[in-house]
């Protein structure tokens, strides 16, 4: 299999910027999340732990991880610790990625994560589906930290916290986080598709694409190759050696 990186997929700074533009991931989002880096660093481990509490209590994913641990010859506990560590690092990177506005190096890492998860045969639906839990956990942590509990009555000489402004701040951060999550899921999806195509002998690197687009935008070419290969196989199976397709 080829090195399934950004170069192989035809992803560059130019067409990556189009992805960010499409999901409205802007410099303003970068400012918002850079300010939250210390918060992310403080909460990443706890969020990762809760994230895997769910993964290991949901029967299909728990079974997948148990079987994967057995194949690798490691304990489920050790596997979970490694997963939590990697997930905590990712949580921080979502925010520190703002320092480079989630550029090519950031996207490249997400591609590699996608390739790894495809190679271990994690069902794509569970990877994508897990982001619903991730969003919930991040939002709940933000609400706990930044939205005050309603007070019965403000004491004389004190001002009640502006809870509307607090909620607005949380929603602003979440809006930025969700744009990054969307960008990340694009990388994961591309990696799963690309790795699957390569595993059946198709070379994504042969797809013709302009600098403005990446190769996975042109899967029509891959479909044409597949159709030709199928027709050739059918001709050979039928012993039609003079077929034009050959």
**pLDDT computed for residue 238 by the predictor:** 76
Cα dist from 40 to 25, 80, 137, 147, 177, whole Å: 19, 21, 12, 17, 11
**pLDDT computed for residue 194 by the predictor:** 93
Nearest to 133, CA basis, from 57, 242, 22, 186: 57
Nearest to 187, CA basis, from 100, 94, 75, 99: 94
CA–CA separation, 38 vs 32, rounded Å? 12
**Torsion (CA) 175, 178, 183, 184 in degrees, nearest 10:** 150
46 within 8 A of 141, measured Cβ to Cβ: yes
pTM of the full predicted structure? 0.87
**pLDDT computed for residue 222 by the predictor:** 84
**Torsion (CA) 83, 85, 89, 92 in degrees, nearest 10:** 110
Helices 163-199 & 104-119, crossing angle to 10 degrees? 60
Q: What's the chain's average pLDDT? A: 91
CATH of domain 6-150+160-209: 1.10.490.10
192 within 8 A of 219, measured Cβ to Cβ: no
Query: Which residues in the chain land under pLDDT 70?
Result: 1, 149-160, 239-246
**pLDDT computed for residue 245 by the predictor:** 60
Tokens encoding 108: 């490249």
CA–CA separation, 218 vs 210, rounded Å? 10
Exposed, middle or buried: residue 98 (CB in 10 Å: 0-12, 13-18, 19+)? buried
**pLDDT computed for residue 183 by the predictor:** 98
């Amino acid at each position: 299999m080829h090195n399934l990186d950004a170069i192989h997929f035809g992803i560059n700074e130019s067409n990556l910027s189009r992805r960010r533009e499409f999901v409205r991931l802007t410099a303003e989002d970068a400012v918002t999340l850079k300010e939250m880096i210390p918060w992310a660093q403080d909460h990443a481990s706890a969020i990762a732990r809760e994230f895997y509490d769910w993964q290991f209590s949901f029967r299909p994913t728990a079974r997948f991880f148990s079987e994967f641990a057995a194949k690798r010859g490691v304990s489920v506990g050790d596997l979970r610790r490694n997963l939590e560590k990697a997930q905590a690092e990712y949580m921080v990177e979502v925010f520190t990625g703002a320092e480079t506005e989630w550029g090519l190096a950031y996207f490249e890492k997400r591609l590699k994560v996608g390739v790894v998860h495809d190679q271990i045969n994690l069902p794509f639906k569970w990877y994508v589906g897990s982001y619903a839990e991730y969003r919930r956990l991040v939002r709940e942590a933000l609400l706990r930290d930044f939205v005050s509990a309603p007070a019965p009555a403000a004491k004389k000489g004190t001002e009640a916290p502006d809870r509307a402004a607090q909620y607005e701040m949380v929603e602003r951060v979440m809006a930025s986080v969700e744009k990054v999550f969307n960008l990340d899921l694009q990388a994961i999806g591309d990696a799963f598709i690309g790795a699957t195509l390569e595993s059946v002998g198709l070379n994504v690197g042969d797809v013709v694409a302009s600098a403005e687009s990446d190769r996975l935008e042109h899967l029509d070419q891959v479909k044409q190759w597949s159709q030709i290969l199928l027709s050739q196989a059918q001709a050979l199976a039928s012993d039609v050696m003079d077929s034009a397709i050959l």
